[in-house]
């Protein structure tokens, strides 16, 4: 493959590849109009789109509680949080588009089930304590995943992640504060928090993806500096961060093997049920069908708005008195 | 999907935000909108939910003319060999004040 250069000549691929490798090795950022290997572009499109879809679908589990929040304060907080998730999705779609993909195509790939989103959003939110636990554990895990991505080699992705990480901190803190309040309440409220923790703990650990040994693309993504840490490294970091938070909160994390290992300087913990993970990822979780059905319905019901706005804009572009051809 | 053919394309806009008075507008990202007025509203909702800005510009992405990012692009070469444009090019004795 050759590509045209500014002076009208052509540069051979090995040359371009060397420039690209040099930039990545020097920890410089790759920007949209730079040459990049096809595999790098494809990996980024897949990862960013999947991430964007997760943010968009991620509005649903918590959105279920918007009309049933126990106070105006909680309702306003939850609204702001769900709106943030929409924003995160849009930052990421914009980053994906710099790689030459079309937004409408990405939406169609999501609602037709051709592109995936994080398996965590296929679990139901059964009580209001789930809203708190999602903020604490799910957003906590997301932060663990996303902070290193602020240094991802692809500039637009890294910049989107910087914005997202700033906002995730509010998400995690509102969740933890909600749980602290409930833990200071009645025995029933405390039981709700423990129940929600029991249900969300293992799916949260699965958010980091399969074990390193079963994650064949990890090495390549790390060489390209799209990813900065392996799945298992991030999972360990999350466990180590969360254990003292659970103690402070007064809940038990549902893992009998969870204990401090002074030799490793980390917590040992049990293995998530990877069979369940594969089942949920492949579309057979408790809420997969519901999530996609609702996203598709929202898209289809919004079609007339998009058409009307486009028609209005087209009319505005004409000069006064001009008639359509 | 059948919708692809019929779907109305909303153009892409680049968004620039002035963080506070005294600063330049800085590029923060992009978004789709049917027209510039909608782009401004969407930009406010998307990029300034936490007082990040006091002023927003939106520009159709198609309307931006950009230099080539190519490594061997000679476009920026003219500034590479003009060291005399920098103050450090001129040796001045240390004991000359206010220089």
Q: What is the DSSP string of A202-259?
A: HHHHHTT-S-GGG-TTHHHHHHTTS--S-HHHHHHHHHHHHHHHHHHHT---S-TT-E
Helices A155-183 and A139-146, axial angle in degrees (round to 10): 150
CB contact under 8 A, B29 and A94: yes
8 Å CB contact between A216 and A210 = no
Q: How many domains does chain A have?
A: 1
- Tell me the mean pLDDT in the region A311-322: 73
Look up the domain containing A126 and give its range: 25-313
Beta strands in chain B (DSSP E): 12-18, 25-32, 55-60
Cα A271 to Cα A213: distance, rounded to the nearest angstrom = 14
CB contact under 8 A, B4 and A303: no
pLDDT at residue A317, as a whole number: 64
| Closest residue by Cα to residue A58 from A6, A2, A131 | A131
Measure in Å the smallest separation between the Cα of A103 and chain B Cα atoms: 9
- Tell me the mean pLDDT in the region B81-98: 91
DSSP 3-state of B39:
helix
Share of chain A above pLDDT 90, in %: 86
Cα A241 to Cα A236: distance, rounded to the nearest angstrom = 9
Alpha helices in chain A, H assignment, sequence order? 13-25, 38-57, 59-63, 72-97, 103-111, 129-133, 139-146, 155-183, 187-206, 218-223, 231-249, 274-279, 288-301, 303-316
| Closest residue by Cα to residue A50 from A97, A130, A109, A102 | A109
| Closest residue by Cα to residue A235 from A215, A249, A251, A216 | A215
- Tell me the mean pLDDT in the region A306-317: 87
Regarding beta strands B25-32 and B55-60, do their DSSP bridges make them parallel or antiparallel, or are they unpaired? unpaired
Per-window interface: A 165-194 vs B, CB < 8 A: 167
Measure in Å the smallest separation between the Cα of B16 and chain A Cα atoms: 14
Share of chain A above pLDDT 70, in %: 94
Is residue A108 less than 8 Å (CB to CB) from chain B?
yes
- Residue A125 pLDDT exceeds 50: yes
Is residue A158 less than 8 Å (CB to CB) from chain B?
no
- Residue A111 pLDDT exceeds 50: yes
- Among all residues of chain B, which has the CA nearest to that of A106? B4
DSSP 3-state of B4:
helix
CB contact under 8 A, B34 and A91: no
Residue A217 is assigned to a structural domain of this protein: yes
Is residue A12 less than 8 Å (CB to CB) from chain B?
no
Cα B24 to Cα A218: distance, rounded to the nearest angstrom = 40
Measure in Å the smallest separation between the Cα of B6 and chain A Cα atoms: 9
Residue A321 is assigned to a structural domain of this protein: no
pLDDT at residue B68, as a whole number: 75
CB contact under 8 A, A313 and B69: no
- Residue of A7, A112, A310 lying closest to B10 (CB–CB): A310
Is residue A162 less than 8 Å (CB to CB) from chain B?
no
| B contacts of A94 (beta carbons < 8 Å) | 29-31
- Residue A314 pLDDT exceeds 50: yes
User: How high is the ipTM of this complex?
Assistant: 0.85
pLDDT at residue A215, as a whole number: 85
Considering only A40-44, A231-235, B70-74, B87-91, which range has the smallest mean pLDDT?
B70-74
| Residue B97, both tokens | 């004040």
Cα A159 to Cα A98: distance, rounded to the nearest angstrom = 12
Residue A36 is assigned to a structural domain of this protein: yes
Neighbouring C-alpha atoms within 13 Å toward the C-beta of A212: 13
- Residue of A33, A108, A167 lying closest to B1 (CB–CB): A108
Residue A103 is assigned to a structural domain of this protein: yes
Query: Counting every residue, how long is chain B?
Result: 99
| A contacts of B30 (beta carbons < 8 Å) | 94, 97-98
- Residue A4 pLDDT exceeds 60: no
pLDDT at residue A5, as a whole number: 45
Banded pLDDT at A2 (limits 50, 70, 90): very low
Cα A195 to Cα A88: distance, rounded to the nearest angstrom = 29
DSSP B29: E
CB contact under 8 A, B49 and A97: no
| Closest residue by Cα to residue A95 from A162, A28, A144, A35 | A162
Is residue B30 less than 8 Å (CB to CB) from chain A?
yes
DSSP 3-state of A30:
strand
- Residue A56 sits in a domain whose CATH number is 1.20.1260.10
| A contacts of B34 (beta carbons < 8 Å) | 306, 309-310, 312-313
- Residue A184 pLDDT exceeds 90: yes
8 Å CB contact between B81 and B74 = no
Residue B70 parent element (H or E) = none
Is residue B78 less than 8 Å (CB to CB) from chain A?
no
| Residue A56, both tokens | 């968009």
Residues 6+ apart with CB under 8 A from B82: none
Is residue A31 less than 8 Å (CB to CB) from chain B?
yes
Residue A98 is assigned to a structural domain of this protein: yes
Residue A286 is assigned to a structural domain of this protein: yes
- Among all residues of chain A, which has the CA nearest to that of B68? A6
CB contact under 8 A, A108 and B4: yes
Neighbouring C-alpha atoms within 13 Å toward the C-beta of B12: 20
pLDDT at residue B66, as a whole number: 87
Structure confidence by residue, pLDDT tens digits, A25-83: 999 999 998 999 999 999 999 999 999 999 999 999 999 999 999 999 999 999 999 99
pLDDT at residue A315, as a whole number: 85
Measure in Å the smallest separation between the Cα of B35 and chain A Cα atoms: 5
Cα A233 to Cα B65: distance, rounded to the nearest angstrom = 43
Mean of the per-residue pLDDT values of chain A? 92
Is residue B4 less than 8 Å (CB to CB) from chain A?
yes
- Residue A209 pLDDT exceeds 70: yes
Domain edges within chain B: 12-64
| CATH number 1.10.8.50 given to B12-64 | no
8 Å CB contact between A146 and A164 = yes
DSSP A273: -
Neighbouring C-alpha atoms within 13 Å toward the C-beta of A8: 0
Banded pLDDT at B77 (limits 50, 70, 90): confident
| Residue A278, both tokens | 């594969």
């Amino acid at each position: 493959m050759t590509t045209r250069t500014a002076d009208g000549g052509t540069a051979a691929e090995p040359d371009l590849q060397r420039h690209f490798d040099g930039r990545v090795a020097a920890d410089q950022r790759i920007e949209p109009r730079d040459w990049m290997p096809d595999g790098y572009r494809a990996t980024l499109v897949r990862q960013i789109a999947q991430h964007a879809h997760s943010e968009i679908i991620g509005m649903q589990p918590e959105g279920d509680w918007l009309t049933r929040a126990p106070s105006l304060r909680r309702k306003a907080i939850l609204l702001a949080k769900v709106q943030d998730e929409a924003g995160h999705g849009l930052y990421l779609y914009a980053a994906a588009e710099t790689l030459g993909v079309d937004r409408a195509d990405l939406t169609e790939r999501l609602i037709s089930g051709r592109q995936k989103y994080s398996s965590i959003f296929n679990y139901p939110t059964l009580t209001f304590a789930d809203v708190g636990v999602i903020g604490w554990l799910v957003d906590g895990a997301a932060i663990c995943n996303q902070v290193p991505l602020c240094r991802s080699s692809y500039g637009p992705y890294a910049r989107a992640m910087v914005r997202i990480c700033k906002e995730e901190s509010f998400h995690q803190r509102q969740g933890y504060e909600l749980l602290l309040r409930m833990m200071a309440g009645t025995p029933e409220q405390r039981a709700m928090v423990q129940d929600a923790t029991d249900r969300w703990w293992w799916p949260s650990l699965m958010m980091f993806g399969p074990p390193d040994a079963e994650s064949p693309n990890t090495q390549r993504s790390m060489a390209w500096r799209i990813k900065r840490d392996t799945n298992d490294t991030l999972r360990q970091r999350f466990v180590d961060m969360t254990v003292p938070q659970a103690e402070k909160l007064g809940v038990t994390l549902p893992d009998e093997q969870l204990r401090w290992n002074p030799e490793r300087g980390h917590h040992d913990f049990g293995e998530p049920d990877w069979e369940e993970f594969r089942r949920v990822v492949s579309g057979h979780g408790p809420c997969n069908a519901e999530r996609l059905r609702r996203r598709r319905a929202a898209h289809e019901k919004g079609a007339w708005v998009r058409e009307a706005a486009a028609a209005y804009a087209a009319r505005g572009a004409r000069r006064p008195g001009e008639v359509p051809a | 999907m059948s919708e692809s053919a019929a779907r109305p394309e909303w153009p892409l806009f680049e968004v620039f935000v002035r963080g506070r008075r005294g600063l330049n507008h800085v590029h923060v990202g992009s978004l789709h909108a049917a027209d510039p007025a909608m782009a401004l509203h969407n930009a406010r909702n998307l990029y300034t939910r936490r007082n990040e800005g006091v002023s927003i510009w939106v520009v159709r992405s198609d309307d931006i003319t950009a230099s080539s990012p190519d490594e061997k692009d000679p476009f920026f070469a003219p500034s590479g060999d003009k060291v005399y444009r920098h103050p450090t090019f001129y040796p001045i004795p240390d004991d000359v004040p206010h220089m």
